[in-house]
Each structure stands twice: as C-alpha cells, then as structure tokens.
Amino acid sequence: MRSQSSLGEFDIIEKYFRQSSPRQDVVLGVGDDAALVAAPENSQIAISTDTLVEGIHFFADIPPRALGHKALAVNLSDMAAMGAEPRWVTLALTLPEVNEDWLAQFSKGFYDLAEYFNVSLIGGDTTKGPLSITVTVHGVVPSGKALRRNGAKPGDWLYVTGNLGDSGLALAHLQQKLSLTPQQFELCLKQHYYPQPRVLAGYGLRDIASATIDISDGLANDLRHILRQSGCSASLKLEQLPLSETMTEAVGLDQSFQLALCGGEDYELCFTVPESNKGSVNTSLSYSGVPYTCIGQLASGQGEIKLQYQGKPYQFEPSGWDHFN
Ligand code: ADP
Ligand code: MG
C-alpha cells in the first residue's frame, strides 16, 4: 500500500535529508541558501552530475532503497574514474507525491552508501513532478593527479576492475529479452541495483594509470572514449574478459561477450597502464581489495577495437551490438 502523507517540502528535507553529523569540512550544510565547505590546500575540486529519470534510467518498480543507493553510486563512480575522493553531494529530488515509506527507504539506500564513503549531503532541491533524481558530487584530488580519458599511449596495457555484464544480464531479464532462473536473477540483480563504486581503486590508480573511465554504457562504448581522446586503438582478448560463472552458465560465452561489451551499468573502471607501471598495478590496487584483469593492449589508431578470441579475430553478428540497447 502506498501511504500518502501531508508532509510539506521543508518537513521532508528536515526529516529525511538533514544529516545529523556531517563531515568536519562542512562549514554550513542543509538549511541556508547555499552550503559552504572547506576545500583542502593543494587540491583540485572534481565535480560531476548524473540524473536518473523514471522510465528511462529505472523502472517504476525499482525498490526505493536500491534507487537511493544507485543515484549516489553512479556519481561516486565518476569520482572513482577521476581518482578523486568524494566528499560532498547535493540531491535534487522531483517527487510525484509524498510517500513516507518510499522516502524512508530511498534515504536509507542513499545514506548507507554515503556513510560508507564518508560523503556528506550538504543541500539540494525538492520539487513536485514526475519522479527524477539528480545528484551532484564534489570531490577532491591532489593537484595534477586526476585520472583523465586522454592520457593513454600506444603500447599501454588495458585493464578492467570486477566482472562485466552481470548488470546488463539482470536488465535483459527485467526487459524479458531472456529468462534466468530465480537464483541467477538474484545474483545479477544485486549488481544492477547495488553497484559498488570503485572509489578506493581510483586512489590506487592515481600514480600508475595513463587514462581511466568508469563503465556505464558497456566496455566497448566507454573504452572508445579513451581511445578516441588518446588517439589509440585497442586489441581485446575476449577469453580474458572477467565474466561471472552465473552469466556464462545462464547465456553461454557469445552472449556473455555481448553483455560484457555492450550491456551497460557495470560501474567498473576501465584503465590503461604504461608498460613501465605494469609491475606496480598489484601493489597499487591490493589495499583497495578490488579485483582487476588485464584484457588487452593499445596501439596507435582512432578508436578501433579489435576483438580476438583464442588468437583469432572474433566477429559479432551486426545485430549483436545493438541487441541490448
Ligand atoms: P532555496 O529556496 O533558497 O533554493 P530551498 O527551500 O529549496 O532553498 O531549500 C532549503 C534548504 O534545504 C537548502 O539548504 C537546500 O540545499 C536544502 N535542500 C532542499 N532539498 C533538499 C534535498 N532533497 N536534500 C538535501 N537538501 C535539500
Ligand atoms: Mg530551492
């Protein structure tokens, strides 16, 4: 049952979006015309915004707790991809109605993740209309150390964190493009609803990666951004793609490759490492506890991606590339 409530805008903010103990560097949080934060010396501020709109980025039946988590997670993932430390977020919330059960769950999902990464909610906006969530995150990164998309060079090695494709697999099931067993669905739905932003891995990559991006639109699409901005091409060894057993058992290798390359919403990091730093990857990432895999190497080019499987060129059915879009 949806419980309606007569809470007004300011009651909603007070009850659900005012944090009791924000970070020490929050000089002024929720409640004034703007928030004030103290930025550390010798750093640059990294800023990123992402909007989630019902019907476009999520279905109406998404659990509100997952939505709260995901709205923040996709923004923290952008900080990870910059090697930045997320510190402050604002939340612009457009709600069709005031539903206190929904608000309680949504803010729980949001705050659980915010607390885990010591991120403070310092302001926002609350309006009435079709459900939409915009989060802006502000992070800090030591001056000159941010990870960008344009620094890769021919010869650099190509890596990804985590597994790829599980989130896209869950989405394909939700869209009835394929059918999973309840156990398979449960495992990959966790990746789809509760992606874990790779913030700690981002810190470790500051000194060793030549370029980094987070994978939100499928490895192929996001890798192409690095390649085009860096003037490179890539050769991928498909047998090295990190794929979950759940996915390969459920849909076989070919479809798993498609989901890993084009599925989307993985929120893993894709990064390149010069040969001279290859030996440091393990040390740099070990404290983050984030798994990673070398999946190929770059050459000079204009964004081409060559796929190889066990030493031979691998061709997709042309429709395969758009299948899950
Ligand atoms: P103004 O009218 O000056 O823009 P608002 O009345 O919209 O201010 O908001 C009052 C205070 O509550 C501001 O500090 C704003 O940042 C904060 N706020 C509004 N909505 C949210 C929200 N969804 N989450 C966190 N803070 C919010
Ligand atoms: Mg306002």
CA 34 to centroid of ligand 2, rounded, Å? 10
Structure tokens at 62: 């998404």
CA 207 to centroid of ligand 1, rounded, Å? 38
User: For the segment 201-238, what is each residue's pLDDT rounded down to a tens digit?
Assistant: 999 999 999 999 999 999 999 999 999 999 999 999 99
Contact between 199 and 73 under an 8 Å Cβ cutoff? The reply is: no
Q: What is the mean pLDDT of the chain?
A: 94
pLDDT class of 320 with cuts at 50, 70, 90: very low
Of all residues in the chain, the percent with pLDDT exceeding 90 is: 92
For ligand 1, mutation pick of 30, 110, 128 (most atoms within 8 Å of CB): 30
pLDDT score at 20: 82
Other residues' Cβ atoms within 10 Å of the Cβ of residue 118: 11
165 CB under 6 A from ligand 1? no
pLDDT score at 2: 46
Residue with token string 């803010």: 107
pLDDT score at 315: 86
pLDDT score at 1: 38
pLDDT score at 266: 97
pLDDT class of 317 with cuts at 50, 70, 90: low
pLDDT class of 316 with cuts at 50, 70, 90: confident
DSSP letter at 30? B
Helix (H, G, I), strand (E, B) or coil at 48: strand
DSSP letter at 289? T
308 CB under 6 A from ligand 1? no
User: For the segment 53-81, what is each residue's pLDDT rounded down to a tens digit?
Assistant: 999 999 999 999 999 999 999 999 999 99
Contact between 269 and 202 under an 8 Å Cβ cutoff? The reply is: yes
Of all residues in the chain, the percent with pLDDT exceeding 70 is: 96
Residues 150-173, mean pLDDT to the nearest whole number: 97
Residue minimizing CA distance to atom 21 of ligand 1? 124
Structure tokens at 55: 């019907």
Q: Could you tell me the sign of the dihedral formed by the alpha carbons of 242, 244, 249, 251, in that order?
A: negative
pLDDT class of 121 with cuts at 50, 70, 90: very high
pLDDT score at 5: 76
CA 108 to centroid of ligand 2, rounded, Å? 23
Own/partner pairs, 103-108, CB within 8 angstroms, 24+ separation = 103/12, 103/15, 103/16, 103/64, 104/16, 105/63, 105/64, 105/65, 105/68, 106/16, 106/64, 106/65, 106/67, 106/68, 107/16, 107/17, 107/68, 108/65, 108/68
Using the predicted structure, report yes or no on whether residue 324 has a pLDDT greater than 80.
no
CA 78 to centroid of ligand 1, rounded, Å? 24
123 CB under 6 A from ligand 1? yes
**In angstroms, how far apart are the furthest CA atoms of the chain?**
64
CA 126 to centroid of ligand 2, rounded, Å? 7
133 CB under 6 A from ligand 1? no
